[in-house]
């Protein structure tokens, strides 16, 4: 009998990245989602394709042995699948973790302490996402069951890196993405119960350098290109990077984060410089039609304290290291307001119009008045607000 994985989030990352790896490793995959048409399409389509594109050509994977469950309407069925699963993964977005936690908690509660604990890995663009999910699950678990919870479930943080652009609306379930990938997972929570046999995962003892290298290089560069591109009316990230001024801003931002990563994690300077150049080439892949609005969406999350801009900028400022290009990107992110189909950009506009610069920095960025970055952020916000009033 094949091992079983339950994956929350049947979108492009779930189908194209995580489920593809699980399928190629011999798992049956059960998608959990709340979008009825997507669930119906998955259950009526016996196979779909994952198309990997790159300068060296195209590869096509065929995915089978999957089905989908509506987590709103078929809760009991999903709980039973979790009870008998080997692994639970998710790609729902960091803000949705609290909503999927209750059903996972129910499934875990029905597992026997005598069986191998459930392996849980959140695949999100956020630091410590599995820890966040675990906290929500335990909050939905009876207190008297906390002491032996580790006998029913284990949680491992991960860092994922793969660009999945907006898809052709006529592609059906097929997903097109870049060939390059990294899926790095902390192996320490699983070492005494068995590490899941998933081809493509890099298992490590210390995940933090990988998480920050990815977040502060890939995500920082991608979003920097998008926000500068949006401000200059570019259509895609590729288009933005053809502008030498935007390219200089992107390279400047990730050279600043390189300085931080090299000093903080003892990463080889030459290796990180080469990684930076590889990432700039990746995000500028002309085969990936990556609209700046898609990459820039959710600016409030991207401007938050531990995210791709404020996180490294705050550390650099505390150590009296330059963060000029990161501040430029932060300014462009604050200008990403009232964008169609992006609720956070509309909320950002409201916050900017109703609050002082000091309150905006506190509310959006979570930076304290005692931190060295604080006055520089206040100046950035003030400049954006003043320009809005002039318009």
Which residues, 6 or more positions from 189, have their beta carbon under 8 angstroms from its beta carbon? 154, 155, 156
User: Which one of the listed residues 4, 138, 214, 302 is annotated catalytic?
Assistant: 214
Residue with tokens 């210390």: 206
Tell me, what's the pLDDT at 369? Answer: 97
Tell me, what's the pLDDT at 388? Answer: 83
Residue with tokens 């318009």: 391
CA-angle at 218, arms to 132 and 387, nearest 5°: 90
Whether residue 66 contacts residue 46, with contact meaning beta carbons closer than 8 Å, is answered with no
Closest by CA to 258, choosing from 318, 321, 208, 195, is 321
Per-residue model confidence as pLDDT tens for the chain (391 residues): 899 999 999 999 999 999 999 999 999 999 999 999 999 999 999 999 999 987 778 899 999 999 999 999 999 999 999 999 999 999 999 999 999 999 999 999 999 999 999 999 999 988 899 999 999 999 999 999 999 999 999 999 999 988 887 788 888 999 999 888 999 999 999 999 999 999 999 999 999 899 899 999 999 999 999 999 999 999 999 999 999 999 999 999 999 999 999 999 999 999 999 999 999 998 988 877 789 999 999 999 999 999 999 999 999 999 999 999 999 999 999 999 999 999 999 999 999 999 999 999 999 999 999 999 999 999 999 999 999 876 6
Give me the helix-helix angle, 97-109 and 129-139, nearest 10°: 60
Output the CA torsion sign for 142, 148, 153, 156. Answer: positive
Is 4 a residue of the active site? Answer: no
Give me the helix-helix angle, 220-231 and 244-265, nearest 10°: 160
Rounded alpha-carbon distances, angstroms, from residue 357 to 52, 231, 234, 248: 44, 21, 28, 28
């Amino acid at each position: 009998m094949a091992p079983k994985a339950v994956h929350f989030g049947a979108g492009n990352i779930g189908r194209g990245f995580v489920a593809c790896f699980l399928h190629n490793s011999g798992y049956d995959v059960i998608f959990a989602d709340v979008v009825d048409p997507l669930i119906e399409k998955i259950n009526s389509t016996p196979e779909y394709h994952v198309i990997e594109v790159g300068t060296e050509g195209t590869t096509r994977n065929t995915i089978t042995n999957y089905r989908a469950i509506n987590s709103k309407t078929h809760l009991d069925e999903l709980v039973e699948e979790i009870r008998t699963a080997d692994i639970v993964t998710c790609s729902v977005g960091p803000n949705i973790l609290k909503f999927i936690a209750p059903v996972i908690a129910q499934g875990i509660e029905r597992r026997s302490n005598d069986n191998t604990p459930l392996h849980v890995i959140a695949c999100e663009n956020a630091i410590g996402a599995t820890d966040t999910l675990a906290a929500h699950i335990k909050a939905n678990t009876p207190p008297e069951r906390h002491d032996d919870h580790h006998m029913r479930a284990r949680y491992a943080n991960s860092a994922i890196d793969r660009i999945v652009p907006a898809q052709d609306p006529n592609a059906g379930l097929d997903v097109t993405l870049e060939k390059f990938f990294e899926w790095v997972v902390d192996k320490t929570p699983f070492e005494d119960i068995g590490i899941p046999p998933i081809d493509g995962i890099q298992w490590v003892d210390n995940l933090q350098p990988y998480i920050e290298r990815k977040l502060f290089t890939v995500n920082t560069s991608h979003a920097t290109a998008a926000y500068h591109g949006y401000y200059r009316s570019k259509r895609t990230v590729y288009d933005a990077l053809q502008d030498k001024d935007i390219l200089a801003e992107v390279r400047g931002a990730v050279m600043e984060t390189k300085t931080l990563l090299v000093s903080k994690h003892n990463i080889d300077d030459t290796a990180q410089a080469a990684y930076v150049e590889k990432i700039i080439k990746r995000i500028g892949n002309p085969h990936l039609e990556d609209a700046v609005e898609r990459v820039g969406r959710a600016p409030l999350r991207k401007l938050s304290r531990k995210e791709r801009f404020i996180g490294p900028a705050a550390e650099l400022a505390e150590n009296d290291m330059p963060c000029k290009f990161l501040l430029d990107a932060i300014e462009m992110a604050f200008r990403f307001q009232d964008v169609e189909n992006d609720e956070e950009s509309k909320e950002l506009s409201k916050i900017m119009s109703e609050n002082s610069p000091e309150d905006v920095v506190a509310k959006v960025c979570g930076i304290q008045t005692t931190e060295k970055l604080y006055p520089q952020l206040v100046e950035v916000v003030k400049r954006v607000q003043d320009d809005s009033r002039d318009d």
